[in-house]
Chains A and B, each alone.
Chain A
Amino acid sequence: MRVVVLVVALLAAATAHADPCTDPEVTPRLSALVHARRFADAHHAATDLRVQCGNQDAWRLLDDIALLRLEDRPYALADLTSLHTPAGDIVLAWAYTTNHDDQAARTIIQRLPAPRQAALLALAALPDEDAFDVAARGLDPRALDLGRRYHAAREKSPAFAGVLSALLPGSGQLYAGSLQAAAVTFVLNGLFIGATVELARDKQYVTAAAAGTAASFFYVGGIINAADLARRRNRIAQQPYADELEELLLPEVGGTLGP
């Protein structure tokens, strides 16, 4: 009997907030999806909510953040420009800034309160260690520490990796930390360059030109890959600190809603 009562009570509790349009837990759940980086899930959930219940500012904002993270920008930017909420302006300024749309970014940043402007400028300066140190002064002291750890986590120079690979195909990959990629790059480049030279010596110019074209693709691809591997390695090593900084300085961008 007690079990039946318990089940009925649980069912009653579960159905009490069954209507998502009035359930106060729906918005925090949507926010949690964005926080957990389940962007496609968040976008689909937000779309359902907006169709079913009409627009709410919080849902629109979270949907726009999810779409920005998914690189589905045009709708998100258009929606953010019509949102006109403090959090919406911060996300919009961040989106324009990282989208290299400096004129639009400046317009929005001017509307923000001074501390938010400073936070945005500091995050924008993050790739440059000295500029970040200057921009982060006066902000939360943890930001400077996180910035230092972010820069200390940078392990490889993409430019150096690219130059190495240009001098000796494969050496940039080796520097970036991949023996397999280095070996494959070296062997493939060696084969194609060797074939081009041999064919040209035999005066088979058409075939040599074809081999040379393929060789040039593998040569340039190898340089790009060496720089890319170094950049990826840095990004993966630095990402936890960048995320922490973003959460500290601009929590709205991560999907954290204000009170």
Chain B
Amino acid sequence: MRALALVALTACLPPVARDAANAIDPRYRMNRPAQSTVVDIYRSAGANAPSRCKMVPTDSQAFAMRAETCGGMRAWIWGVSRLFLEQANSSRFTHAIRLDDRLRWIDLPGPCA
């Protein structure tokens, strides 16, 4: 009975991981996923364009991370959702950190829910 209760209780738990609270943690987390073709093409196309992306990781990095772990379809949907999150642009929804001499919003891709 106790075991059943535990299973029921853990059904909607948050993951162990915490949001990054400093500039080092997102860099560590972003270094692990492999590169994808999407990111390679995007970067080679815009290699000389200055990035003013407000988000960490950038949209293409986040897309590649999600595509790798959750598949292409979910990556697209979450990519659109992330564009709207970027518009929300508020500390009520995301944490800001100073990275590369700029204040940026952290949105590290979480589990594939």
Q: Which residues of A contact B (CB under 8 A)?
A: 36-41, 43, 68-73, 94-95, 97-100, 102, 105-106, 109, 121, 124-125, 127-128, 131, 135, 173, 176-178, 180-181, 183-185, 217-218, 220-222, 224-225, 228-229, 232-233, 235-236
Contacts and interface: CB of A to CB of B under 8 A. Distances in A.
B6 A70 contact: no
B89 to A, nearest CB: 6
12 contacts: A37-B18, A38-B25, A40-B28, A43-B28, A70-B17, A106-B3, A181-B87, A183-B87, A221-B78, A222-B80, A228-B81, A232-B94
A221 B25 contact: no
Given A177-B92, A225-B81, A229-B85, A70 B28 contact: yes
Contacts of A183: 87
Contact of B15 (A38, A98, A173): A98
B92 A233 contact: yes
A125 B15 CA distance: 14
Considering residues B22, B25, B95, which has the most beta carbons from chain A within 10 angstroms of its beta carbon?
A: B25
Contacts of B10: 97-98, 100, 102, 105, 124
Considering residues B14, B15, B80, which has the most beta carbons from chain A within 10 angstroms of its beta carbon?
A: B80
Given A69-B18, A217-B76, A225-B85, A128 B24 contact: no
A36 to B, nearest CB: 8
Contacts of A222: 80-81, 84
B84 A185 contact: yes
B32 A72 contact: yes
Given A70-B17, A229-B88, 5 more contacts: A71-B29, A72-B32, A217-B76, A221-B76, A225-B84
B84 A173 contact: yes
A135 B2 CA distance: 11
B13 interface: yes
B7 interface: yes
A172 to B, nearest CB: 10
A173 B94 CA distance: 15
Contacts of B94: 232
Considering residues B10, B32, B92, which has the most beta carbons from chain A within 10 angstroms of its beta carbon?
A: B10
Q: Which 4 A-B pairs have the closest CB atoms?
A: A221-B80, A40-B28, A178-B88, A225-B81
Given A71-B15, A105-B6, A121-B6, A38 B77 contact: no
Considering residues A185, A220, A221, A233, which has the most beta carbons from chain B within 10 angstroms of its beta carbon?
A: A221
A221 B84 contact: yes
Contacts of B24: 38, 40-41
B49 interface: no
B70 interface: no
B9 interface: yes
Nearest to B15: A98
A181 B88 contact: yes
A94 B15 CA distance: 10
B34 interface: no
B17 to A, nearest CB: 4
A70 B82 CA distance: 21
Nearest to A178: B88
A109 B90 CA distance: 40
A177 to B, nearest CB: 6
B16 interface: yes
A224 B25 contact: no
